[in-house]
Amino acid sequence: MEGKKLLIVTQHFWPEAFRVNDLAAGFIERGWQVDVLCGLPNYPKGEWFSGYRYTGPRREEHDGVNIIRAGEIRRKGNTGARIFLNYVSWPVCAVFNLWRLKGPYTAVLCYNTSPVLMNLPAIVYAKLHKVPLTSYVLDIWPENLYSVLPVKNRFLRGVAHWVSDWHYRRCDQLIAMSESLRRRLCQRTSKPESAVAVIPQHCEDFYAVPIHDETLAARFAGRFNLVFTGNFSPAQSLETVIKAAVKARAAGAQALRLVLVGDGMSADSLKALAKELDAGDTVEFLPSVRPEQIPAYTALADGLVASLSASPDLGMTVPAKIASYMAAAKPLLASMDGEGAAAVAEAGCGFVSAAEDVDALAANMAALCAASPGERAEMGRRAFAYYETHYRRRAVLDRLEEFISAR
Contact 48, 15 (CB under 8 A): no
Return the closest-CA partner of residue 294 out of 267, 260, 271.
260
Contact 279, 243 (CB under 8 A): no
Element housing 247 (H / E):
helix 238-250
C-beta neighbour count of 158 within 10 angstroms: 11
Q: Cα-atom radius of gyration of the chain, to the nearest Å?
A: 21
Confidence of residue 108 (pLDDT cuts 50, 70, 90): very high
User: Tens digit of pLDDT for each residue in 32-45?
Assistant: 999 999 999 999 88
**Phi then psi dihedrals of residue 315, to 5 deg:** -70, -10
Contact 226, 343 (CB under 8 A): no
Element housing 174 (H / E):
strand 173-176
User: Tens digit of pLDDT for each residue in 351-374?
Assistant: 999 999 999 999 999 999 999 999
The pLDDT of residue 133:
97
Question: What's the average model confidence in pLDDT over 13-35?
Answer: 94
**What are the Cα distances from residue 136, in Å, to 3, 29, 49, 175, 309?**
23, 20, 26, 5, 23
User: Tens digit of pLDDT for each residue in 114-152?
Assistant: 899 999 999 999 999 999 999 999 888 888 777 666 778
CA 154, chain centre distance (Å) = 28
User: Tens digit of pLDDT for each residue in 292-312?
Assistant: 999 999 999 999 999 999 877
**Phi then psi dihedrals of residue 357, to 5 deg:** -90, 95
Query: In the chain, count of helices (H) and strands (E)?
Result: 15, 14
**Phi then psi dihedrals of residue 269, to 5 deg:** -70, -35
Question: What's the average model confidence in pLDDT over 228-251?
Answer: 94
User: Tens digit of pLDDT for each residue in 45-54?
Assistant: 899 999 999 9
The pLDDT of residue 407:
66
The whole-model pTM stands at 0.77
The pLDDT of residue 151:
76
Contact 273, 245 (CB under 8 A): no
Question: Is the CA virtual torsion 231, 306, 397, 290 positive or negative?
Answer: positive
Confidence of residue 395 (pLDDT cuts 50, 70, 90): confident
Question: What's the average model confidence in pLDDT over 162-166?
Answer: 95
Contact 262, 294 (CB under 8 A): no
How many whole angstroms separate alpha carbon 16 and alpha carbon 39? 10
How many whole angstroms separate alpha carbon 144 and alpha carbon 313? 8
Question: What's the average model confidence in pLDDT over 195-221?
Answer: 92
The pLDDT of residue 2:
52
Question: What's the average model confidence in pLDDT over 2-14?
Answer: 92
How many whole angstroms separate alpha carbon 376 and alpha carbon 331? 6
Share the mean pLDDT of the chain: 93
Contact 131, 103 (CB under 8 A): yes
Confidence of residue 1 (pLDDT cuts 50, 70, 90): very low
